Structure 1
């Protein structure tokens, strides 16, 4: 699926164990293992590998699910992951919205706990809240290394889809390195997020902010989006969900806990506000510069309001979303080119990118 056409969503494909069993059996059978001395055949047992896989699921669920919580704001419901032993919980910015206080239900609690917002960072759709009182026995989840995530890895998504707390779905990592633009309607933040993990595990409303877990019991991502299909009237595209990688979660959460805000976003910026413009056929034709921040990357490069950006580096730009996606693939301080139109003439200028 082309990342530039991926749009968010609403807030997977299960690997059949019977199929796996058949494949293992086909390669590992020993013809006389089930034969009795009287010539009859003993009941077939499941291959050991299937039992091992099921036991691993149970182990991971027992280990991680107690660290996944349900978060209730006044107008929204989502999930979160216990980040440390101080009561910090990481979740999505679109889960907390504009709220400052929340009710949090853990897997083992009978009554909701109370929590307060530490900081919300909509540009990466991440937020940290903190429990007003850390209950006994609540433990932090372990976060894995995003660089080691590979296509085909089996993963479990844990959260509260549709309010069904402590739910688990299963799938695989379908792709890595996806750049996804999140809608600003229906509760989304409008963020464009790079390097997301695509998964076939079901991501439904309420899963946002929960855990995408590998079979080592490590969080590899925070489920955030489920793709929509324009051909289905904007309905969910089954088996296509996205999670913010654990490395970015740690980077943002650590800054919030340490400084009370994000001080180093790592996200490239031109330092402009822009809007999509249409051509004579009413088709998107570029990102028109509406305002230029003084001293920013675009200002230093000589861009000004009214210029229409049509390319960033080698990436074509027909909409502000495509401009955001092109920037998401770059880093602050990196040099690139901006192609734009001014007074009917096409120009290209070199620019050193700033930071969001």
Structure 2
């Protein structure tokens, strides 16, 4: 994968080996024969083109739950993980994984749907429990061979992904079906050592940034509720003059399509109001203007409330850092902690303040070396559209646009998408200076590649004939 473009290559199946001790652990977990544990997706259906939202049942006997497949790339193929060092081994610890220890799951949930967006994502969690293969594990190697359960969100397509310890970044194991289970690295090393050896490597740098709770609360005060008709969404105040950033799809189905209007206008009978929150007061503002509604994949809209509508003479807002500010700031990277702030779940009548949910940056999708999409594992729900993603210092990182959804409409709350600050800061900040909508028109003309990314349009791999591949080796 380079600059959002996927590359495919042939691989040779070297062997399928058994992860020793895993079936014993599963028997302890299920209380009976592991081969009769029914759970997960149908083994008789092809994953490609099937409805990933429908849950079927299979027997663990059918999928070889404790099997590990060893693949070998052809000579000269570009490695997917750059490795360094010369120790000739993959590090692992024989100490028992402890409950509560933080880990990161690396995988490609729903990856074939849109490879450039969904391949190589991450999900973080903790060790939820440890299942020893024997009721009384006496030796260190028996501890190390224990099946690990985690609360990290597991999506279809993540099976076989690497799991790393957050504290060291070293390999902890490989994820497995049917739920968030981890085959420990000691079992893997034992099973594959006759076939393969590799240099020591670290999968991800550790992210232990301290959380600035004061800045997080300030960012929360800038998040508003936007009600259009009987529906609601979120927005974030980005200027002291009352400009609010939200999503275009909040308004699209309610707009009057009269072509001679200068500004976007709602159809007759459709109302728009915004609720501004503070710890002491809540205020609804009815006389809002819609300044801009994007007509492209950039799901951005701007509304403005009169400057007279402030709380005690003060309107909390979250400024968008400029390009020069971002040049000197640490960029958002995969694995970095993120917080989603918005009015998810609870509607206008509840009076509930914006919810804050935590997660990590699952992936940064780039085009021409610029971020064009953020994927986050921070749970978002209905009403979070137009909310904000912030970093540990409460800085604006992205505008939440929505969740992943299955073909049946089921929401995947831990897979959500956001427009990164870098993609909008130039246009929006230029508009805020002069309040001239011409600066926003660039948001209506994204490149074809950016449109493909946001439309989740991907291409299936095109395979060369095996004889042609062999001639290149």
For 1:52 and 1:260, the matched residues in 2 are separated by 38
Name stretches of at least 5 consecutive residues in structure 2 with no aligned partner: 1-110, 129-149, 151-164, 168-207, 256-264, 457-473
Distance 1:152 1:253 in 2: 27
The match for 1:158 among 318, 325, 341 is 341
Instruction: Work out the CA distance in 2 between the residues paired with 1:236 and 1:207.
Output: 13
- 2:303 matched to which residue of 1? 129
Worse overlay, 168-177 or 95-104:
95-104
Provide the residue aligned with 1:167 in structure 2: 355
Contact 1:88 1:131 in 2 (8 A): yes
Cα distance in 2 for residues equivalent to 1:228 and 1:148: 28
Q: Does 1:103 pair with 2:273? A: yes
2:409: which partner in 1?
234
Q: Distance in 1 between matches of 2:454 and 2:166?
A: 44
Question: Is 1:77 the equivalent of 2:251?
Answer: no
8 A Cα contact 1:66 1:138, kept in partner: no
Q: How far apart are the structure 2 equivalents of 1:237 and 1:327?
A: 17
Instruction: After TM superposition, give the deviation of residue 247 of structure 1 in Å.
Output: 2.0
Match of 2:428 in 1: 253
User: By percentage of residues, which structure has more strand?
Assistant: 1
CA contact (8 A) 2:340 2:380 kept: yes
Q: Count residues with an aligned counterpart.
A: 232
> For residues 328 and 236 of structure 1, what CA distance do their matches in structure 2 show?
17
Aligned partners of 1:148 and 1:156: how far apart in 2?
A: 15
User: Closer, same or farther in 2 for the Cα pair 1:52/1:93, shift >3 Å?
Assistant: closer
What residue in structure 2 maps to residue 212 of structure 1? Answer: 389
Q: 2:218 aligns with which of 60, 63, 66?
A: 63
Distance 1:76 1:159 in 2: 14
Q: TM-score under structure 1 normalisation? A: 0.55
Partner of 2:185: none
The structure 2 residue matched to 1:119, chosen from 292, 296, 302, is 292
Measured at CA, do residues 324 and 86 of structure 1 come closer, stay the same or move farther in structure 2, by a change above 3 Å?
A: closer
Which structure 2 residues correspond to residues 270-309 of structure 1 after superposition, within 5 A? none
Deviation at 1:253, TM superposition (A): 2.5
- How far apart, CA to CA, are the structure 1 residues paired with 2:374 and 2:353? 23
TM-score using structure 2 length: 0.43
Asked if structure 2 preserves the Cα contact closer than 8 Å seen for 1:118 and 1:256, the reply is no
- Aligned to 1:112, the other structure's residue is in SS state strand
Equivalent-residue separation in structure 2 for 1:103 and 1:246 (angstroms): 25
SS at match of 1:175: strand
Separation (CA, whole Å) in 2 of partners of 1:212 and 1:130: 21
Structure 1 residue runs of 5 or longer lacking an equivalent are 25-50, 180-193, 271-321, 330-356
SS at match of 2:283: coil
Residue 264 of structure 1 is matched in structure 2 by: 442
Quote the offset at 1:236 in angstroms.
1.6
Tell me, what secondary structure is at the counterpart of 1:216?
coil
What CA distance in whole angstroms lies between the structure 2 residues aligned with 1:154 and 1:171? Answer: 6
Alpha carbons of 1:252 and 1:79: their partners in 2 closer, same or farther (altered >3 Å)? farther
Moved over 4 A (4+): 12-19, 326-329
- Secondary structure at 2:314 match in 1: coil
RCO higher in 1 or 2 (8 Å CA, sep ≥ 6)? Answer: 1
The one of 198, 203, 214 aligned to 2:380: 203
Residue 350 of structure 2 is aligned to residue 223 of structure 1: no
1:181-196 alignment to 2 at 5 Å?
A: 195-196=372-373
Distance 1:224 1:167 in 2: 16
- Looking at structure 2, the residues matched to 13 and 68 of structure 1 have their Cα atoms a distance apart, in angstroms, of 26
